[in-house]
Structure 1
Amino acid sequence: MTHQNSPRLSRRAFTLSALTGLTVTAACGNGVGSNGANQIDARVNATLNEMYSVYPNTVSLSEKASGMLVMPLVTEAGFWLGGAYGRGALRVNGVTLDYYSTAKASAGLQIGAQQYAHVLFFMTEDALSDFRRSSGWAAGGDIEYVVRDQGDSVAADTTTLRSPVLAAVFGRAGLRIGATLEGTKYTRIIP
């Protein structure tokens, strides 16, 4: 069934829009594409409830963290060139302080699309301050994962807890080869 008023989106158009940061949410059906703070907060709450129930080790991490960046839904797709986009909130002591978007562009062997949630745990005040002061913070290869992209939970030991930033990636839908948070950029937004 086709609608006369709905434009067809080719792979090339999707990839170009993902790379330039234009309307990826509309193209992929990413429900986080709302500009309303209330809607983002509701999705953040639902994401945290899911994470805590499925991965109980994250409860103690959240209690020890100085702050958490919660990205309820990130849509990522690629066919040689790829991109990802999502929106979320920074929470400190259970209160939303700021809203952020995440974007990522990549090239190389990657085929497919996926949707997932992720949470960054800032384990030190310095890591949280660095994140908040930056005009565009990028995730590096030094992030330790407490929930891997395959969805298995990793025990948080004393070595992991010394890392300034920990990540939980979960709730994946779809299939894409070569997914990682490395190179993902986070920018403060006004919803």
Structure 2
Amino acid sequence: MKAIKYITIFTMLFVFAGQAQTVKDQKIIDDAAEAKVMLLKADEGLKTFFDESAGYVIFPNVGKGGFIVGAASGNGVVFEGGKKVGMADLKKLNIGFQAGGQAIIEVIFFETKNALNDFKEGKFSFAAEASAVAVRSGLAFNAKYKDGVAVFALPKAGLMADASVGGQKFKYHSFE
């Protein structure tokens, strides 16, 4: 009887833990869909990137903040061929001139399947001097891939004197 009780409790905890992760992931997926709409509304030139890239990752809520020492963090959804294939985590810690806090949408486009696979395999991080193109009407039409990657950022709230994405590290989690 005691064994059945423990098995039941363990099963319930396992089910609820799985649902909590699913609920969290679903919220991020919903936020990413909304972020894509906002990005396209801000600059319709991004449509070409969404349509023609080998894949992309949308981080709908990246929080950045710092005063001399700064950090950034966010969760996103990875798409390949227009289909959701997994989730990603973004982390950054840096030292240098910066002040304030900001919430942004960040999207990373991968020009080739090899560049996307490098991201998925954990072989991808930005060089120290890398920066994102700020999303404003018309800028995406002239934007180009650099080393197989193009990065765009759309500020949501806050103000921060730092536009760099250099030093960001990523983890990929497949849905499979």
| CA distance in 1: counterparts of 2:41 and 2:140, whole angstroms | 15
Q: In terms of mean alpha carbon deviation, does 168-177 or 76-85 score higher?
A: 168-177
**SS in structure 1 at match of 2:86:** strand
Structure 2 Cα separation of the partners of residues 78 and 153 of structure 1: 30
Q: Does 1:174 align with 2:150?
A: no
2:126 equivalent in structure 1? 139
- Quick one: distance in 1 between partners of 2:52 and 2:129? 19
**Which residue does the alignment assign to 1:43?**
31
Q: Conserved in 2, the CA contact under 8 Å of 1:144 and 1:166?
A: no
Please tell me the residue identity of whatever aligns with 1:95: K
Deviation at 1:87, TM superposition (A): 0.4
* Residue equivalent to 1:56: 44
Change (3 A) 1:41 1:50: same
Q: CA deviation at 1:189?
A: 4.4
Aligned-partner SS, 1:108:
strand
CA contact (8 A) 2:44 2:137 kept: no
Q: Are residues 1:107 and 2:95 paired? A: yes
> Where does structure 1 differ by over 3 angstroms across 4 or more consecutive aligned residues?
141-145
TM-score normalized with structure 1 length: 0.71
Higher helix share: 2
Letter in 2 for 1:138: S
2:81 matched to 1:93?
Answer: yes
Structure 2 gaps of 5+ residues are: 1-21
> Which whole-Å CA distance do the structure 2 matches of 1:94 and 1:57 have between them?
17
Distance 1:190 1:122 in 2: 17
Partner Cα distance (1:190, 1:155) in 2: 29
How many percent of aligned residue pairs carry the same amino acid?
21
Give the structure, 1 or 2, with the largest relative contact order (CA under 8 Å, sep 6 or more): 2
SS at match of 2:165: coil
Correspondence for 2:66: 78
TM-score (norm 2): 0.77
Cα distance in 2 for residues equivalent to 1:73 and 1:141: 22
- Residue 154 of structure 1, aligned match among 122, 125, 139: 139
Alignment gaps of 5+ in structure 1: 1-33
Number of positions where the alignment pairs a residue of Structure 1 with one of Structure 2: 155
Range with bigger deviation, 174-183 or 75-84: 174-183
Distance 1:180 1:153, change over 3 A: farther
SS across alignment from 2:40: helix
Matches of 2:45 and 2:29, distance apart in 1: 23
